[in-house]
Structure 1
Amino acid sequence: MADKYDKMLRHFFSGGLDVEIKMREATLRQTGKTHENIGGGRAKNKQFNQVENGLIKIESDEYLNQLKKQKKDIQQCVDMFSDEHKEVFYQYYRNKLTWQYIAQLHFINESTARRWRDELKRVYARQVISDES
């Protein structure tokens, strides 16, 4: 369970989640060849708007909505902490610094930095569980 949340948090802090959201949107915006239906019957009153159809496709994509919700949930949890806590999270998850080095930078004990990380995981786990119920 902890590894699952660690992976999600690392993905968020490293910017991988933003990249994945943008890639999914770009994939959904791509249009394939349009079929001209030459020689076939065609509905005469059918309106086809490519922009609207693209927006509908993006808004109704479950995977994209799941990624956006995950990003929003993690951001809400991170915003609950002080700036020093956030800096520790970024240094650990994005910059991949060791706990010992982070503790020296912030003049705190190594166990304090780990405790802050564990608190972030607990808050995020509660957020996920409350959303599921």
Structure 2
Amino acid sequence: MADKVDKLLTDYFTGDLQRKISMRVDMLNTVQEIDENTGGGRAQYKYSNAVENKMITEESDAELVALRHNKKVIDTWTSGMDKVRYQVMKEMYCRHKTWDKIALDNGVSRTTMAEWRKELKFSIEGWGLLITY
């Protein structure tokens, strides 16, 4: 893989990006806060705000924000693709087939595949990816 955008696209098409998001959310939700109340007083006006705390934790985590931003940018650009182009990109980045095999299976030339790949990478790079690798 040539660069970080290729790594990000590979993670997206193989499903690793979504797994990283899920794992980060799970990790943030399992971290327990340390009770710093060492006094013997009784807590007044105590109420549970677990949902708000969870939202604040997820929204303030830089890695999770970056992962979600990257996924949203790629989702936006891939949602407008036709089926053949999306299938070609998926097969290219999943690395299960050679470019020649992908070209034969989908009826496109290697030059066209390279142009589609370059166009996708250029489009995605323009939206300020927050690379976390």
Scaled to the shorter chain, the TM-score interval is 0.7 to 0.9
Distance 2:4 2:38 in 1: 51
Deviates more, 1:73-82 or 1:3-12: 73-82
TM-score (norm 2): 0.82
Q: How far apart are residue 33 of structure 1 and its match? A: 6.7
Identity in percent:
36
The Cα shift of 1:66 comes to 1.1
Secondary structure at the residue paired with 2:126? helix
With CA pairs under 8 Å and 6+ residues apart, which has the higher RCO, 1 or 2?
A: 2
Q: Structure 2 matches for 1:1-133, cutoff 5 A?
A: 3-32=3-32, 35=35, 37=37, 39-41=39-41, 43-128=43-128
Distance in structure 2 (CA, Å) of the matches to 1:112 and 1:31: 48
Distance 2:80 2:5 in 1: 17
Which segments of 5 or more consecutive residues in structure 1 lack a partner in the other structure?
Answer: none
For the Cα contact (< 8 Å) 1:21–1:64, is it kept in 2? yes
**When the two structures are aligned, how many residues end up with a matched partner?**
128
Q: CA deviation at 1:29?
A: 1.0
- Conserved 8 A contact 1:92-1:99: yes
Paired AA for residue 111 in structure 2: S
Unaligned runs of 5+ in 2: none
